């Protein structure tokens, strides 16, 4: 059984107190098949997107609310849904309202590819700004809450509770089966297990959560509006904006025009499939230079180790050093330390957060190197809070008040890559890429096989050139033609590029950099905002 968004709102809020903040979803680029899927989802779910937002009264206390609707394409988050969420978070911040968020989602909307995946950055950034302004953020996870949603705004609550029996985790069981040929261990990705492991604060039915949330907001009363504002809001609320019926005519082009477009695009599509897929294969070459090769060309380097709290992870590297004389903190994935399922785990993410703290405390720039097959997929990683650590890394980076440079060096898979992405400047090697899942995993979700990996690598726009066009990447550092065949020259070229970016960033006031970074990820994916 799954609780719909409207059922949640009915049980959580005082009777007839909910007022919608939703406007019609922003228009996103969509194939005919995707447009048809959106129309069918709207009819099936009775909503125009996978999330509802608004405000209401929780036991007389005025709150803002965000509620996912799983019935709309499995609650997946694309550009339109993310824009609705961020707009609601920003409005709650402006009004000084506590925010109650209730995700239920399969994660990133695969039909929109990488640009949908990176929407989690701007959602996490909006939530981080809301919290920084002193306003409460309370989370209630419903069945199921998976992937990037759990690893971003689903894990940033001051307090976090979950629905009994809810499936909650970072990686979907079907993807694990496709990638490793066996089932994910049972009993790990449950609300009850995560509560026992200290990942969430409790498991409650909605009526009990309503009481606990009200109690918590009373404790947080020093950072919320006076109680009188709740009474006043009854006469000031604005009626929901009418949205009109969802009809096929609103988003459908004529069949003849679409057929001609598909014919013209077919040849270009095959070439794109080959180009991007070749980059994926090149990025996986064992001899490709990684972060350790870059650090060989960094002066005055001081290797550091661990989180400072009794944890270390050999899949990551932390160091101090100078890039062409420019001092900084360096943290990144170590491709040599990633073997099989031994990939970036919670300890590495806590080490990443140590690098952010060092940069802040020492007033040094931070350089982050992305080169990962993905975050750890294991029972231990789930129970030790992998997804919440990814969320905290994203939030910390979006709000970090020192200059930041992120380098997409090779593979950039999933939350392990996203955790190191938000920066003032993002560089990419020619054959680097960024995606919510390996192309094989995306193919397993969309086509139920791995035979369409090359096709999805292209259509999801995961390659460096596409990321540059979409505004995710700012600059491509060339490979001639493959970094594995010129490791020293490539490493020097990348170090020089990083040094140049550091010099440029250090010349700008830090408050200006922070504002520009937050604006960058706020606009990401919207029409006219690509590079």
Rounded to whole angstroms, the Cα distance separating 485 from 289 reads: 9
485-516: pLDDT as tens digits: 999 999 999 999 999 999 999 889 988 999 99
91-125: pLDDT as tens digits: 999 999 999 999 999 889 999 999 999 999 999 99
* Structure tokens, 112: 């929109």
> What are the backbone dihedrals phi and psi of residue 421, each rounded to the nearest 5 degrees, phi first?
-80, -45
Number of C-beta neighbours around residue 215 at 10 A? 11
Lowest mean pLDDT among 222-231, 265-274, 505-514: 222-231
* Structure tokens, 506: 């250090």
What is the distance of C-alpha 175 from the center of its chain? Answer: 18
* Structure tokens, 360: 């802040």
Assess whether pLDDT exceeds 70 at residue 262. no
Assess whether pLDDT exceeds 70 at residue 264. no
- Percent pLDDT > 70 in the chain is 87
Number of C-beta neighbours around residue 163 at 10 A? 25
Q: At what angle do helices 119-132 and 510-523 cross, to 10 degrees?
A: 130
| pLDDT at residue 271, rounded to an integer | 57
* Structure tokens, 212: 């606990």
Which range scores top for mean pLDDT: 57-66, 243-252, 305-314? Answer: 57-66
Nearest to 356 by CA among 334, 325, 331, 320: 331
Query: Where is pLDDT greater, at 192 or 530?
Result: 192
- Find the mean pLDDT for residues 382-401: 88
Provide the whole-model pTM.
Answer: 0.74
Rounded to whole angstroms, the Cα distance separating 99 from 239 reads: 20
For residue 394, what are the contacts with CB-CB under 8 A and spacing of at least 6? Answer: 120, 121, 124, 125, 152, 418, 419, 421, 422
**DSSP codes of every residue in 452-514:** THHHHHHHTT-BHHHHHHTTS-SEEE--SS-GGGSHHHHHHHHHHHHHHHHHHHHTS-HHHHH
Assess whether pLDDT exceeds 50 at residue 240. no
CA distances from 262 to 232, 256, 345, 463 (A): 55, 10, 42, 22
| Mean pLDDT of all residues belonging to the chain | 85
Which letter does DSSP use for residue 101 in this model? E
Which range scores top for mean pLDDT: 129-133, 150-154, 250-254, 486-490? Answer: 486-490
* Structure tokens, 46: 């009775």
């Amino acid at each position: 059984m799954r609780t719909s968004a409207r059922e949640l709102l009915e049980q959580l809020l005082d009777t007839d107190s909910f007022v919608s903040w939703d406007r019609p979803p922003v228009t996103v680029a969509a194939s005919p098949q995707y447009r048809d899927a959106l129309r069918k989802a709207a009819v099936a779910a009775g909503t125009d997107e996978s999330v509802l937002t608004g405000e209401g009264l929780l036991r007389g206390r005025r709150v803002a609310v965000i509620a996912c609707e799983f019935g709309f394409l499995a609650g997946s988050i694309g550009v339109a849904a993310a824009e609705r969420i961020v707009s609601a978070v920003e409005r709650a911040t402006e009004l000084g309202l506590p925010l109650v968020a209730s995700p239920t989602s399969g994660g990133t909307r695969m039909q929109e590819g990488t640009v949908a995946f990176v929407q989690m950055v701007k959602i996490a950034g909006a939530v981080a700004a809301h919290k920084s302004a002193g306003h409460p953020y309370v989370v209630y996870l419903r069945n199921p809450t998976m992937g990037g949603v759990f690893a971003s705004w689903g894990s940033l609550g001051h307090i976090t509770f979950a629905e009994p029996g809810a499936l909650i985790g970072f990686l979907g069981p079907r993807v694990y089966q496709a990638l490793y040929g066996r089932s994910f261990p049972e009993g790990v990705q449950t609300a009850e297990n995560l509560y026992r492991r200290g990942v969430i604060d409790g498991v409650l039915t909605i009526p009990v959560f309503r009481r606990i949330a009200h109690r918590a907001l009373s404790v947080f009363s020093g950072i919320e509006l006076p109680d009188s504002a709740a009474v006043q809001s009854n006469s000031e609320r604005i009626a929901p904006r009418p949205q009109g019926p969802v009809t096929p005519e609103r988003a459908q082009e004529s069949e003849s025009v679409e057929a001609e477009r598909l014919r013209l695009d077919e040849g270009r599509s095959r070439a794109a499939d080959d180009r991007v897929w070749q980059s994926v294969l090149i990025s996986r070459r064992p001899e490709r230079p990684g972060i350790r090769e870059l650090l060989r060309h960094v002066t005055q380097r001081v290797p550091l180790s661990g989180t400072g709290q009794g944890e270390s992870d050999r899949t990551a590297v932390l160091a101090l050093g100078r890039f062409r004389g420019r001092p900084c903190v360096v943290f990144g994935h170590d491709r040599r330390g990633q073997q099989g399922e031994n990939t970036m785990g919670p300890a590495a993410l806590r080490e990443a957060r140590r690098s952010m703290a060092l940069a802040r405390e020492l007033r040094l720039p931070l350089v982050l190197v992305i080169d990962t097959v993905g975050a750890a997929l294991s029972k231990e990683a789930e129970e030790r809070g992998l997804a919440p650590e990814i969320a905290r890394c994203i939030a910390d980076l979006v709000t970090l008040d020192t200059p930041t440079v992120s380098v997409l060096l090779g593979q950039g898979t999933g939350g392990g890559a996203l955790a190191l992405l938000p920066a003032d400047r993002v560089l990419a090697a020619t054959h680097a890429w960024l995606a919510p899942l390996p192309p094989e995993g995306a193919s397993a979700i969309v086509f139920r096989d791995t035979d369409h990996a090359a096709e999805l690598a292209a259509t999801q726009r995961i390659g460096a050139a596409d990321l540059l066009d979409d505004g995710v990447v700012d600059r491509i550092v060339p490979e001639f033609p493959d970094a594995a065949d010129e490791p020293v020259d490539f490493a020097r070229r990348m170090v020089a590029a990083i040094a140049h970016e550091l010099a440029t960033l250090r010349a700008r006031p830090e408050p200006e950099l922070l504002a520009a970074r937050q604006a960058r990820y706020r606009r990401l994916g919207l029409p006219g905002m690509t590079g």
